[in-house]
């Protein structure tokens, strides 16, 4: 697990072509056919095993961009390539194996899980959808996926309303990882959680990402979280990239005044088992992204 989540202080090198998981070039996104641009000329790459932080204030276009990548928003132009192949705008036009290999964890754990299904059914559902596995193998893999996120087999028979917010988000992560994706998009996955749970979820994602060498896009408005999990960062403002590069370079020596403003009064993130100042007061005052 060494090497992941660490800050790279030098300039980023261009990765070999076969190491690029995702390549976004000149992405332009509109809301509706005649609506205004909400994302303008955005370009970045995500390498195999790399975590890219996508940051900006609410309304900066982070979630819209992510939804384009997974095919949930199709009104865009430009080029989105996954392992060198251009992706269709809509998820329904993409091959099943591509859908399996690019997974999404939604922001709100209270609305992203089907309340009428058990945890076991929720986690096993992608195995039936993408891999067409039988019931026994689905159940076994679902149990292993829950174990990976530190939830015991007794959670298989529980329903979402019997879980805490942190437990629900662990289930959502297990559901995304059970099909062994190559790219995981985490969209503000800690913003609906208590401060005390945020660091636990981020540490869990760090561990799983490093163990399985998954490329990840970590979307947040909290720069303390970006520093703790990502190697590179893209800063969005009003749908445009104002700055990008290695985490250490961008966050310690921001070149754009907008990034510098975001860095002011950044709460400190304390990982489990590590001493450090509490983020309770600062983070609690920070509004959650919609």
Q: What is the dihedral of CA 226, 231, 232, 235, to 10 degrees?
A: 0
Please tell me the total number of residues recorded for the chain in this structure: 290
Total domains in the fold of the chain = 1
Encoded tokens for 7:
């800050």
Residue 8 lies in a domain: no
Residue 268 forms part of a structural domain: yes
Q: Let me know if residue 36 belongs to a domain.
A: yes
Task: Note whether residue 4 is domain-resident.
Answer: no
Across 11-25, 33-47, 265-279, which has the greatest mean pLDDT? 33-47
Average pLDDT of the segment spanning 35-57? 92
Q: Does residue 217 belong to any structural domain of this protein?
A: yes
pLDDT digits (tens, 9 = 90+) for 123-171: 999 999 999 999 999 999 999 999 999 999 999 999 999 999 999 999 9
Is the confidence at residue 3, as pLDDT, over 70?
no
Q: What is the residue whose two structure tokens read 């990402």?
A: 209
Average pLDDT for the chain? 86
CATH number of the domain at 175, please: 3.40.50.300
Q: Does 210 fall in a domain?
A: yes
* pLDDT tens by residue, 57-86: 988 999 999 999 999 999 999 999 999 999
Confidence of residue 267 (pLDDT cuts 50, 70, 90): low
Burial zone of 212 (CB within 10 Å; 0-12 exposed, 13-18 middle, 19+ buried): middle
Residue 2 belongs to a domain: no
| Residue 64 buriedness (CB in 10 A; 0-12 / 13-18 / 19+) | buried
Lay out the sheet containing 51-55: strands in order across.
102-105, 183-187, 215-220, 51-55, 232-237, 240-246
As a whole number of angstroms, the distance between CA 235 and CA 244 comes to 6
pLDDT at 26 over 50: yes
Spatial CA neighbour of 251 closest among 277, 276, 232, 274 = 232
Is residue 37 predicted with pLDDT exceeding 70? yes
pLDDT top residue among 25 and 286: 25
The tens digit of pLDDT for each residue in 159-215 reads 999 999 999 999 999 999 999 999 999 999 998 888 889 889 999 999 999 999 999
105 band by pLDDT with thresholds 50, 70 and 90: very high
Task: Give the predicted TM-score (pTM) of the model.
Answer: 0.84
Instruction: Specify if 114 maps to a domain.
Output: yes
Which residues constitute the domain of residue 82?
Answer: 17-284
In whole angstroms, give the CA distance from residue 150 to residue 128.
23
DSSP state, residue 271: P
Q: Give me the mean pLDDT over the 35-47 stretch.
A: 89
């Amino acid at each position: 697990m060494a090497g992941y989540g660490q800050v790279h202080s030098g300039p980023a090198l261009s990765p070999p072509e076969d190491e690029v998981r995702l390549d976004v070039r000149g992405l332009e996104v509109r809301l509706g056919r005649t609506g205004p641009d909400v994302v303008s000329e955005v370009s970045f790459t995500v390498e195999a095993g790399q975590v890219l932080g996508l940051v900006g204030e609410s309304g900066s276009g982070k979630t819209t961009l992510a939804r384009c990548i997974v095919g949930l928003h199709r009104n865009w132009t430009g080029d989105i390539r996954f392992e060198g192949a251009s992706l269709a705008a809509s998820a329904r036009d993409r091959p099943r194996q591509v859908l399996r290999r690019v997974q999404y964890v939604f922001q709100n754990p209270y609305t992203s899980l089907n309340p009428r299904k058990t945890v076991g059914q929720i986690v096993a559902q992608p195995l039936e959808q993408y891999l067409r596995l039988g019931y026994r193998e689905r159940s076994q893999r679902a149990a292993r996926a829950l174990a990976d996120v530190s939830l015991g087999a007794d959670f298989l028979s529980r329903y979402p309303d019997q879980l805490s917010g942190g437990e629900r988000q662990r289930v959502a992560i297990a559901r995304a990882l059970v099909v062994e994706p190559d790219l995981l998009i985490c969209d503000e996955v800690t913003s609906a959680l208590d401060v005390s749970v945020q660091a636990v979820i981020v540490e869990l994602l760090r561990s799983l990402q490093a163990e399985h060498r998954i490329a990840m896009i970590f979307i947040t408005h909290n720069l303390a979280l970006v520093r703790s999990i990502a190697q590179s960062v893209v800063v969005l403002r009003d749908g445009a990239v104002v700055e990008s590069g290695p985490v250490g370079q961008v966050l310690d020596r921001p070149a754009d005044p907008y990034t510098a403003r975001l860095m002011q009064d950044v709460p400190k993130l304390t990982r489990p088992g590590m001493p450090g100042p509490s983020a309770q007061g600062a983070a609690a005052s920070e509004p959650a992204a919609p």
